[in-house]
Amino acid sequence: MVERRPWLDLATHLLLALSALSLLLPVWLAFVAATHDLAGVNRMPINWLPGAHLWENVVAAWERGHFAQRFLTSLGVALGVTIGKIALAMLAAFAIVFFEWRARMVVFWIIFITLMLPLEVRIVPTYAVAANALRPFQAILDVTGLTGLIEAVAGIRISLEWQMLNSTVGLVLPLVATATGTFLYRQFFLTIPEELVEAAKMDGAGPLRFLRDVLMPLSRTTMAALATILFVYSWNQYLWPLLVTTEPDRATVMVELARMVPRGDSLPEWNIVMAGALLVMLPPLAIVVLMQRWFVRGLVQTEK
Amino acid sequence: MQRRATFRSPWLPWMLVLPQLLIIFVFFYWPTGEAFQWAFTLEQPWGGGREWVGWQNFAEVFSSQHYWSSVRISILYAVATSALAIGIGLLLALFVDREVAGSRGWRLALIWPYAIAAPAIGMIFRFVFDARAGVFSLFNAMMPGLWDPSLNGTHALLMLILAGAWQLVAYNFVFFLAGLQSIPRGLNEAAAMDGAGPLRRMRDIQMPLLAPTFFFLVIINLTDSFTNSFGLVDIMTAGGPARATDLMVYKIYSDGFKGLDYSGAAAQSIVLMGLVVALTFIQFRFVERKMHYR
């Protein structure tokens, strides 16, 4: 604080309290709705204070949404995306920053262009690829005439197929295919002093040894920051899981939540739906509250 | 950015980037290329592959009245959501940055919405604004039709904008706060010595110095509103009532996966890609170059 201004300080607190409360208000109303029975939630005017039925509603939502299974699926996806992205990002950034090779800049640009287009704008063809992940390679074989050649020579018709719908791999891989983490890791690697590399080389450490024993321990904070935002990002995914999980049993929590409201004109059981909404938002909320420092750091760094 | 001390190996760097290259080839470059192919071809009804049709798919999209209304709504949604979220985020950051007692607590009280998934908050807003169960139910009982997002398109869009802004405020707040905290403290203190009060300093020192952050956030917010609104729309309104909230990204989904019009959806995807690339280009070309205060 630069100077004492008691009145302005008071106004500041009032403004901030008002904003924090209005941000909280919808979630508070959802919480209140989740603590009433069906009659209480449909009462007019609505209840502003919690009732006594929270546990019943949470249990009903948990069972109706098969959340035990859905939480496992979502956890698998979130961990898969987080670990996969961090591992790929670290290896690729390592190759781009610490190696001298001719294709370096080309590879750099090939990877960084993927930052431009989010998954949403290429969703239809990506779905086609998930239906058969080897489709690009099959198409290449067909176009180059290799399929015909191999058929003529060996008598085998090559038809590559790897169907990813309804599998964890299919849920995870397309979400991994961007360069957010690579960019962050590159920025971090560029701050590593050259002396460290020279010292490692002088001591006879090879590149992989250098990565494992020097860079990985040094990048712990980067890794933590990246992990928090990637976990939140992938847990909250909706469009891609909605498309890929064509079997209801393979759905993630978000897809399941959407299904809890019947389409059409019938009034949903809001008390149970709201309990479900509160349940699915708990894990990312816990991450942000408990790891606030890493989260803020990751958020600010990945966008720059 | 070239370093002097590097490793050399003919094959190791390739092995290291190979996993990432494979994944982005299969799930980024191939689908993007395919979107272009589909946009200029039409699948033949009884097999026989795809036939080149030139700009015909685009002509059909552009001659559709529904498409232009979708574009209008998307722009309205993006501008309104971004303006609300940036305005509120900036205001909150300016006041939290005053470092009154308990600033850290305030920070947490304002960033948690970022963790909430679009489907969850969409569902909550849908309940809160529901005509029969939400906060307006009492007024609706007294004056039927006063507020009903399931019948009135304007109400539905308004509800969507509020939910979108609610989601983005926390993000903008974090960036404005980071921007404010990187302003040298000496500037603020010098201005205070010269007799400038806190509000004057906000207007004449902090806000101008935040200009780069501000323009960066404008672009990010617009891009996000154009591409990332699917979850909210699908949960809250499903594009209705009467297409009043049929945003571009939702229309791509419904035309492609519900209407099975792959070529039309691909053509729309290309337009949306163009829009996103243009916004990114503006960011790199103008914003990042012209805003230098250091």
Q: What pLDDT shows up at residue A84?
A: 93
pLDDT greater than 90 at residue B85 = yes
Q: What pLDDT shows up at residue A88?
A: 92
Q: Among B135, B174, B238, whose Cβ lies nearest the Cβ of A300?
A: B174
**Average pLDDT score over residue span B78-84:** 95
Instruction: List per-block mean pLDDT (blocks of 10 residues) for chain A, which spans 304 residues.
Output: 75 86 90 84 79 84 87 92 92 90 87 85 85 80 77 73 81 86 87 87 87 89 88 91 87 89 76 90 90 80 61
User: Measured between alpha carbons, how far is A39 from A42 in angstroms, rounded to an integer?
Assistant: 5
A76–chain B nearest CA distance, Å: 17
User: Chain A contact for B103, CB < 8 A?
Assistant: no
**Residue B3 — pLDDT band, cuts 50, 70, 90?**
low
Contact state of A197 with B5 under an 8 Å Cβ cutoff: yes
Q: Among A26, A44, A88, whose Cβ lies nearest the Cβ of B20?
A: A88
Q: What pLDDT shows up at residue B88?
A: 93
Q: Among A26, A89, A300, whose Cβ lies nearest the Cβ of B125?
A: A26
pLDDT greater than 80 at residue B58 = yes
B49–chain A nearest CA distance, Å: 13
User: Chain A contact for B241, CB < 8 A?
Assistant: no
User: Measured between alpha carbons, how far is B293 from B61 in angstroms, rounded to an integer?
Assistant: 44
Contact state of B138 with A45 under an 8 Å Cβ cutoff: yes
Q: What pLDDT shows up at residue B294?
A: 41
Q: How many CB pairs under 8 A join A and B?
A: 309
**pLDDT tens track for B113-165:** 988 999 999 999 988 888 778 788 777 777 777 787 878 888 899 999 999 99
B90–chain A nearest CA distance, Å: 12
**Residue B2 — pLDDT band, cuts 50, 70, 90?**
low
Interface test with A, best of B8, B9, B14, B17 (most A CBs within 10 A): B17
Nearest to B272 by CA among B245, B252, B246, B244: B252
Contact state of A254 with B32 under an 8 Å Cβ cutoff: no
Contact state of A136 with B230 under an 8 Å Cβ cutoff: no
Q: What pLDDT shows up at residue A81?
A: 93
Q: What pLDDT shows up at residue B99?
A: 66
pLDDT greater than 60 at residue B292 = no
Report pTM.
0.88
Contacts of A243 in chain B (CB under 8 A): 257
User: Chain B contact for A275, CB < 8 A?
Assistant: no
**Average pLDDT score over residue span B95-101:** 74
- How high is the ipTM of this complex? 0.86
A:164-203 residues touching chain B, CB 8 A cutoff: 173-174, 176-179, 182, 190, 194-195, 197-198, 201
**pLDDT tens track for B258-274:** 888 888 888 999 999 99
Beta bridge partners of B43: B50
Contact state of A238 with B7 under an 8 Å Cβ cutoff: no
A:72-131 residues touching chain B, CB 8 A cutoff: 88-89, 91-92, 94-101, 103-104, 107, 110-111, 114, 116-118, 120-129
pLDDT greater than 50 at residue B75 = yes
